[in-house]
Every structure is written in structure tokens, then in C-alpha cells.
Amino acid sequence: MAGLTSWVPEGLDLERPSGARIYDYLLGGGHNFAHDRELAEKFLRAQPNAREIARLNRAFLRRAVLFMIENGIRQFLDLGSGIPTVGNVHEIAQKADPDARVVYVDYEEVAVAHSELLLQGNDRATIVQADLTRPNDVLGHPETKALLDFTQPIGLLAVGVFHFVAPERKPGAIMAAYRDTMVPGSYLGLSHFTADMMPEEMARVVEVMKDSRDPMYPRSHAEITQLFDGFDLVEPGLVATSLWRPESPTDTSDDPHRAGIYAGVGRKR
């Protein structure tokens, strides 16, 4: 296909939109295709606040990483990391400490290909192509084992990804599998779409995404809290993204309860 660059993997199905490429489009990125943009526009019609939701979610990621750095974390496992854009985990962490190590995990081909390009020459960050719902594949991957030391605290990130995990995949059991490999003092940073705040808009979003590569499964505050089993939520708990320790006006929203996403950080007991 004329005009495609090295970040487009050979044989990629351009006809079926992906959640990672839609999120990239909402954040203003350029690593998406016509069918992704078409579905993203439907997403925006279903949830006009979608770009703001994406921005606030990305801002939460930055604050969560910095919070973990401040609390001694120097290695991160980023599940469903998506297509790299400004403010990636390794950029945030390695600016604070050049020795910080990051393993990104995604199964989406463009996310992996572009991450590989971005991380060339960085021996303290890598991308693993794997399905996060198969923890053994992620944790047993040679790149994961080479870069992360699970005898030391880990910062596990699951930002804007578990709402793509269907109930029948047992998201709680998946999270527990990761948690059980982590030593006490490790952290989990997680954000997740919910219908608690804007049920009508969320129902429309679910309908839009149902035929994509990545259908969505919003969960309640109680259900998302269960993903933190084995972790103690740090203040202010599980809250709308803009309410989690905002640092500047750009971290906030005129109406936090239109964030559409709950976010929180927990420390493993």
C-alpha cells in the first residue's frame, strides 16, 4: 500500500479498527488508519467528551508513574501500553532516574512496531508482543525476565486497558496472577471505563465498539475496586481520573464526574 512507513507491519489488517489506534487518534496521534478514524468519529458522536477523557487518562498515567518513582519504584510493567505518544512511561521514569527499567506489553501490531522503533538504543526499555490476558506469556517472556527483577518491587500499570477484558476471561484472576508475582511494596496503577458516571453515553460507546477488534466492558466502582484485591488503595482511593492527586490546572476537569473513567493506585501488602 503506497505511502505506508516502517511502523506499519507487513500483512496488517487495515479494515478492522483497534482500540489502540482509536485511542491514538483521540490523543491526536498519527498512527491510525481510515477505518480507525471512522470508528473514532462514531465514538466521539456517542461520547462527545472522548478527547478530554483520553487526555485526562494520559495525565493520570504520568502522575501515577511519578508517584511510584517517589515511593522507590524503579521498574515498570506496562500492560496494554498502546501506541507510543508524548509522555511514555520510560520517558517519565527515566527522566526521574536514568536507570529505571520499563517493559511495555501489547498485542496490537502497530503499537509493537512503533514501540520497537522508539526504543531502539534504549537498553532499559523494551516492548513484548503478548496478550495481557495470558499472564504466563507476559511474565515468562525472555525480555520480561531479562529486564525486570521480581525479587524487587514492581510498578504494574494497567491504564485504560482492563475494560477490553471480557467477563468470561475473568479479569480478577488475570490481575491476581500478576499480583502474585510481585513482592510487597509493589504498586498497581489502574484506570477503567465505567457506566457509573454517564450511563447513556457509555452504552452508546459499547455499541460503537462491539464490532471492533476490541469490544468494551465498562465496570462499576465496586467491580473495579475488586481488581485491587491484595493492594491497599492510596489516597484518595478509586476516583475520577482528574481527582487523583491533580498537580496543575491541566490535570483537572470542569466536571470531574464526566471523566467516564475511575483511576487509582494501590500498594501491595
- Alpha helices by DSSP H, listed for the chain, are 19-26, 34-46, 50-70, 89-96, 109-118, 135-139, 142-147, 171-179, 199-209, 221-226
Taking phi over 0 as left and psi of -120 to 50 as alpha, with beta for the rest, 28 belongs to left
Going by pLDDT thresholds of 50, 70 and 90, the confidence category of residue 3 is very low
Read off the C-alpha cell for 41: 468519529
Report pLDDT digits (tens) over 45-71: 999 988 999 889 999 999 999 999 999
Report pLDDT digits (tens) over 175-200: 999 999 999 999 999 999 999 999 99
Quickly name the fold that domain 19-268 has: Rossmann fold (3.40.50)
pTM recorded for the entire structure: 0.90
pLDDT score for 24: 83
The amino acid present at 253, given as its one-letter code, is S
Burial annotation 240-249 (CB, 10 A radius, 16+ → b, else e)? bbbbbbbeee
- The answer to whether 151 and 229 have CB atoms below 8 angstroms apart is no
Domain spans of the chain?
19-268
